[in-house]
């Protein structure tokens, strides 16, 4: 479409058609100049003929004046006539040569005009074929663009569903781990309350103190683990919502040994 390549079969290389048109313009200019020269020569010849005819008329009128003048005029007229005939002969030869040149240029001009017409017909045929192909490709392009847009919309919808699914999985994992840790904390707190109730007697208190301390440390560690798990899962959920990938993995859980 931008004509950056040779236009086969009319061009063997870039610019052949333009170069042919320029040559045609040069030939037309040469033909015009030849016609102008021919017209100038013809006009000058006619002027000279008119002048000679006027001189001849004047000489005839002066014959009544003197035979001597008539003889002189006759001689002068003959000389002028010879000169005029010589010039006329030369003009005829020049005219013949110019006509030959004009005919040659005219034939060349007709040949180039015919070639240009043939090339123009071929160009129009190829242009029509190109336009049909271009319209066909444009229609196919429009169809492909619609399919691409539809695919992009479907892809975006799939991404939304995938994000929603990943968030749901992470949320489920988070709730499951939190439920497990809260169950562990509840069970440990029950054991701690039972130990504390048993340690109310003075005899059992020294024996149970170390066990009570162990359970309190255990409960504290599990609560920290609960906070850590909840925070990390929330962070993963936010990353997934913001478009991050490869976040669908479980948070590492430290399995504290029971006292």
* pLDDT at residue 31 in the model: 92
Up-side HSE of residue 136: CA atoms within 13 Å toward CB?
6
In contact, 208 and 195? CB cutoff 8 Å? yes
Does the pLDDT of residue 202 top 60, yes or no? no
Does the pLDDT of residue 179 top 90, yes or no? yes
Does residue 232 fall inside a structural domain?
yes
- Taking the CB of residue 131, how many other CB atoms lie within 10 A of it? 10
Question: How far apart, in whole angstroms, are the C-alpha atoms of residue 213 and residue 205?
Answer: 12
Does the pLDDT of residue 203 top 70, yes or no? no
Does residue 234 fall inside a structural domain?
yes
Does residue 168 fall inside a structural domain?
yes
Does the pLDDT of residue 168 top 80, yes or no? yes
Whether the full predicted model's pTM is greater than 0.85, yes or no, is: no
In contact, 251 and 229? CB cutoff 8 Å? yes
Does residue 198 fall inside a structural domain?
yes
Comparing 14-23, 162-171, 231-240, the range with the smallest average pLDDT is 14-23
pLDDT, average across residues 198-225: 80
pLDDT, average across residues 69-86: 81
Up-side HSE of residue 10: CA atoms within 13 Å toward CB?
22
Does residue 231 fall inside a structural domain?
yes
Among 176, 41, 145, 184, residue whose Cα is nearest residue 99: 41
Q: pLDDT averaged over the chain?
A: 85
pLDDT digits (tens, 9 = 90+) for 83-130: 888 888 889 889 989 888 988 888 888 889 989 999 999 999 999 999
Does the pLDDT of residue 176 top 70, yes or no? yes
What share of residues in the chain are helix, strand, coil (percent, to 5)?
Answer: 85, 0, 15
Buried b (16+ CB within 10 A) or exposed e, 13-49: eeeebeebeeebeebeeebeebeeebeeeeeebeeee
> Residue with structure tokens 């309350």?
193
> Residue with structure tokens 């030869």?
93
Does residue 133 fall inside a structural domain?
no
Q: Which domain holds residue 195?
A: 161-242
Read off the pLDDT band of 64 (50, 70, 90). low
Does residue 115 fall inside a structural domain?
no
Read off the pLDDT band of 231 (50, 70, 90). very high
Q: What total of structural domains would you count in the chain? A: 1
* pLDDT at residue 63 in the model: 66
pLDDT, average across residues 138-146: 91
Task: Provide the percentage of residues in the chain whose pLDDT is more than 90.
Answer: 22
* pLDDT at residue 70 in the model: 59
Question: How far apart, in whole angstroms, are the C-alpha atoms of residue 45 and residue 177?
Answer: 120
Residues 6+ apart with CB under 8 A from 42: 95
Does residue 116 fall inside a structural domain?
no
């Amino acid at each position: 479409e931008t004509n950056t390549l040779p236009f086969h079969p009319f061009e063997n290389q870039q610019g052949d058609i333009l170069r042919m048109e320029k040559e045609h313009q040069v030939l037309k200019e040469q033909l015009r100049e030849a016609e102008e020269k021919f017209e100038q020569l013809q006009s000058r010849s006619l002027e000279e003929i008119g002048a000679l005819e006027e001189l001849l008329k004047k000489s005839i009128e002066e014959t009544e004046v003197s035979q001597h003048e008539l003889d002189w005029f006759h001689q002068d007229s003959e000389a002028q006539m010879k000169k005029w005939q010589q010039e006329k002969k030369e003009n005829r030869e020049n005219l013949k040569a110019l006509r030959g040149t004009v005919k040659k240029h005219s034939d060349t001009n007709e040949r180039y005009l015919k070639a240009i017409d043939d090339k123009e017909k071929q160009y129009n045929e190829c242009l029509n074929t190109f336009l049909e192909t271009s319209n066909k490709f444009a229609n196919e392009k429009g169809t492909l663009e619609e399919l691409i847009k539809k695919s992009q919309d479907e892809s975006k919808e799939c991404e939304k569903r995938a994000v929603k699914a990943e968030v749901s999985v992470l949320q489920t994992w988070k709730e499951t781990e939190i439920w497990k840790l809260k169950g562990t904390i509840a069970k440990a707190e029950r054991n701690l309350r039972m130990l504390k109730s048993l340690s109310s007697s003075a005899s059992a208190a020294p024996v149970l103190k170390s066990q009570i301390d162990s359970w309190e440390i255990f409960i504290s560690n599990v609560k920290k683990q609960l906070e850590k798990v909840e925070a990390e899962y929330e962070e993963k959920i936010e990353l997934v919502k913001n478009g991050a990938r490869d976040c669908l993995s479980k948070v590492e859980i430290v399995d504290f040994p029971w006292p």
